[in-house]
Amino acid sequence: MVKKIICLLYCVVLILPVTIYSQTEQDSITTSIDSLLNQEVEQPKYVNSASKYYQSEQEAPSSINIITSKEIEEYGYHSLAELLNDQKGMYISNDRVTSYLGVRGFSRLSDNNNRILLLIDGHRMNGYQVDGAPIGNSVGLNLSNFQRVEIVRGPSSALYGTNALFTVINLVSKTPELSTSSITTRYGSFNRREIGIQIGNRFNNIFDFSILGNYFKSNGANYYYSEFDTPGNNNGLSINKDADEYYGILTTINFKTLNFRSMYMSRKKFIPTASYNTDFTKQQFVSNSKFWAELNWKYDFSYDKQLAIKLSYDFDDYSAEFPFFFGNLIVNGLSKTLGINGQYIWDLLPNNRLIIGSEYKKSVESGYRYGTKTYDLVNAEWPYEIFSVYLQNEYQLNQNLSIYFGFRWDNYINEDNYFSPRAAMVYSLNSTNVFKFIYGNSFRAPNIIEKNLEEKTIVGYKKNLNLNSENINTLELIWEHEYSKTFSSILSLYHYKLNNIIEQVKDTTDGLIQYQNFSGAKTDGVEFELNGKFNFGFKSYLRYSYQKALDNNQKELTNSPENLLKIGFRKDLFNKVNFALEFRYESPRLGIDNEETKPIYLIDINFIAKPIFNHLTMSLKINNVLNRPLSYPGGNENIQRNIKQPGRNLLFTLKYEF
């Protein structure tokens, strides 16, 4: 089946340019004026997170995808995990607690998403204790609250420091001038209830504000786990243990050159899988609250010099409760961090731009507690302090060729230093062909839990103060081609080499678990994306990825599907209804005991009724239309080797704009 798909795709790539050429010739002669007037005009897309200033997708020194709010609405994406699962080279896992993102063949089971970097309006969302990026419901907002999602593939530690190994994802919130105020209600399968608000206004072009908020609650699905099929464990039935609840609010205020943003989110998720050998018959949960606030100031000294300064505060509170035979084990983690960031952009010459920046972060509190209600197994304070400087230079040699070079130095005070370089060449052969050649080096510093956690009584952990950082080296070649006004494509070839992978290992001498540096892994792959934009509101895409991820012993990595195929299209129906369909195929993944999951074939559809009386919009999203069984590999904390996922589910949405 996989070979047939690859052969079919290869034939399409070979035949398509000839077909498009003949179609273009015919269109230039026979296309009517009415059909031209009905063709949707695409606005250029600009990205900020690739170089920390706005530039087009073609100019950016990375493989870029920008998903606009219109695309989010058309395909019915409600969570970041849903959206990312349909992008080339990306795939999702879920252990019924957290959604995990795999990128280009690499996703270690239960890694907390600490090898990707998530930003909201440029603010770092990865936690400060386990460094995890919240890509599922932990974001706290529905995707309808965002103007666009920027995806920057490849290492970006040269700009952002730790965690930016495989990708940087930036969610850009809606502003008053880009959306009217609205209220949205949603109801769906598993008694899912949701309400969202968007409020904003602008005054005299010098002051504006926006408030984006969302509340979500779901009972979750019921599951049967054969691993717990005994009378004492309710015959393996996990009933009413998959509940999920979150809420979040994001506030933005702009006054002249000042910008203030703050966000608060909270999530509580119950765990149906009885992870960590807990009591299957009792409830266990994890809870997380985040708050951050930042004040930004920008000043233009002249048309070619700009200074930006940001002050920030982050609060992160994590708690979990696990029922064991001796009682409940309680985990609490709390961090409070202050930061200051300065960036100076200087156009030295009309063809030469220099960016110099510096960051400083200091924890004012970083505590971790692990024990029962009456007894502490671990009660520690692990402070940290980070100072960083970075530089990037863009030099345009001529009208067609641009060279990028940059680096960043991160000093974890009293601990380690990290140097991260990046270089790229962007060559525009002509108006329809752009080539990019990219080299990058990034790191992930071991987080404070991996280095310091020691508890030898219950689960059994021991610290490792000699733990080294993970390091990745990459080479990538990208070809962006526009066949005609109808078709465009992106082809990427890449090689990744990851060293010193950090994983949990059980020491055979004492039976204790310790985080240690695993030898390494490499990935070679190809990504192809073909986009079509036709008359009368019809759009389509085809995305195929082949990724071969091996460890240093040439063994296949776990949780790494070799083939990913995503096909989607949308069409306006009856002048009032928009219909979208997406098909997704994944080849099997290898689990931790060398067992394979079944291949994935899924179809999702979305209907949108255009605004009635310019105010009310209705939509219906159906996930897994064919109700196919779906499961992902389980981590070391799970008895289940495959974690079952919900089947077909529906979500109905009403949105009123005023």
Residue range 227-237, pLDDT digits in tens: 999 999 999 99
Q: With contact defined as beta carbons under 8 Å apart, do 498 and 470 qualify?
A: yes
Q: Which among 507, 424, 416, 423 has a CA at the least distance from the CA of 470?
A: 416
Residue 374: Cβ-neighbour burial (10 angstroms; 0-12, 13-18, 19+): exposed
Q: What is the pLDDT of residues 415-436, one digit of tens each?
A: 889 999 999 999 999 989 999 9
Alpha-carbon span 472 to 456, nearest angstrom: 33
pLDDT average, residue stretch 304-318: 96
Alpha-carbon span 444 to 500, nearest angstrom: 10
- Provide the pLDDT confidence category of residue 129 given band limits of 50, 70 and 90: confident
DSSP 1-32: -HHHHHHHHHHHHHHHHHHHHHHHHHHHHH--
List Cα–Cα distances, 549 to 25, 189, 555, in angstroms. Answer: 43, 36, 8
* Residues 185-204 as b or e (16 or more Cβ within 10 Å = b): ebebbeebebbbebbbeeee
For residue 413, the model assigns a pLDDT of 86
Q: Which residues in 552-576 belong to E strands, given as ranges?
A: 563-573
Q: With contact defined as beta carbons under 8 Å apart, do 528 and 489 qualify?
A: yes
For residue 43, the model assigns a pLDDT of 57
Contacts of 182 (CB under 8 A, 6+ apart): 197, 198, 655, 656, 657, 658
Q: Is the pLDDT assigned to residue 371 strictly greater than 70?
A: yes
DSSP 389-413: EEEEEEEE-SSSEEEEEEEEEEEET
Q: With contact defined as beta carbons under 8 Å apart, do 494 and 476 qualify?
A: yes
Contacts of 11 (CB under 8 A, 6+ apart): none
For residue 127, the model assigns a pLDDT of 85
Q: Is the pLDDT assigned to residue 16 strictly greater than 80?
A: no
- Provide the pLDDT confidence category of residue 602 given band limits of 50, 70 and 90: very high
Q: Token pair of 398, please?
A: 């001529």
Residue 137 DSSP label: G
For residue 179, the model assigns a pLDDT of 58
Q: With contact defined as beta carbons under 8 Å apart, do 596 and 588 qualify?
A: yes
Write the single-letter amino acid at 557.
Answer: L
175-189, 269-283, 318-332, 400-414: least confidently modelled range: 175-189
Cα angle, residue 161 at apex, residues 159 and 167 outer, rounded to 5°: 75
Q: Which residue has the higher pLDDT, 378 or 5?
A: 378
- Looking at the chain, the whole-number percentage of residues with pLDDT higher than 70 is 93
Contacts of 607 (CB under 8 A, 6+ apart): 577, 578, 579, 580, 619, 620
Alpha-carbon span 147 to 427, nearest angstrom: 29
For residue 14, the model assigns a pLDDT of 34
CA atoms within 13 A on the CB side of 653: 28
CA atoms within 13 A on the CB side of 503: 19
pLDDT average, residue stretch 546-568: 95
Q: Which residue has the higher pLDDT, 312 or 456?
A: 312
Q: Where are the alpha helices (DSSP H) in 383-476?
A: 448-452
Residue 512 DSSP label: -
For residue 31, the model assigns a pLDDT of 38
pLDDT average, residue stretch 150-175: 94
pLDDT average, residue stretch 75-88: 95
Q: Is the pLDDT assigned to residue 6 strictly greater than 50?
A: no
pLDDT average, residue stretch 505-521: 87
Residue 181: Cβ-neighbour burial (10 angstroms; 0-12, 13-18, 19+): middle
Q: Is 263 helix (H, G, I), strand (E, B) or coil?
A: strand
Q: What are phi and psi of 393, to 5 degrees?
A: -125, 130
Q: Is the pLDDT assigned to residue 90 strictly greater than 50?
A: yes
* Residues 34-73 as b or e (16 or more Cβ within 10 Å = b): eeeeebeeeeeebbbbbbbbebebebbbbbbbbbbbebbb
Own/partner long-range contacts of 90-93 (Cβ < 8 Å, ≥24 apart):
90/167, 90/564, 91/561, 91/564, 91/586, 92/632, 93/559, 93/632, 93/633
Q: Which residue has the higher pLDDT, 25 or 597?
A: 597
Residue 515 DSSP label: E
For residue 34, the model assigns a pLDDT of 38
For residue 61, the model assigns a pLDDT of 93
Q: Which among 122, 123, 114 has a CA at the least distance from the CA of 167?
A: 114
CA dihedral 397, 399, 401, 404 (to 10 degrees): 60
β-pairing verdict for 167-173 and 117-120: parallel
Q: Is the pLDDT assigned to residue 581 strictly greater than 80?
A: yes
Q: What are phi and psi of 189, to 5 degrees?
A: -60, 155
Q: Is 71 helix (H, G, I), strand (E, B) or coil?
A: helix
Average pLDDT of every residue of the chain: 89
Q: Token pair of 381, please?
A: 């304070």
Q: Give me the domains of the chain, ranges plus CATH numbers.
A: 31-657 (2.40.170.20)
51-60, 162-171, 215-224, 609-618: least confidently modelled range: 609-618
Contacts of 157 (CB under 8 A, 6+ apart): 164, 165, 408, 410, 418, 420, 422, 440, 441, 442, 443
Residue 455 DSSP label: B
Residue with tokens 């510096």: 358
Q: With contact defined as beta carbons under 8 Å apart, do 561 and 567 qualify?
A: no
Residue with tokens 């990037």: 392
For residue 42, the model assigns a pLDDT of 54
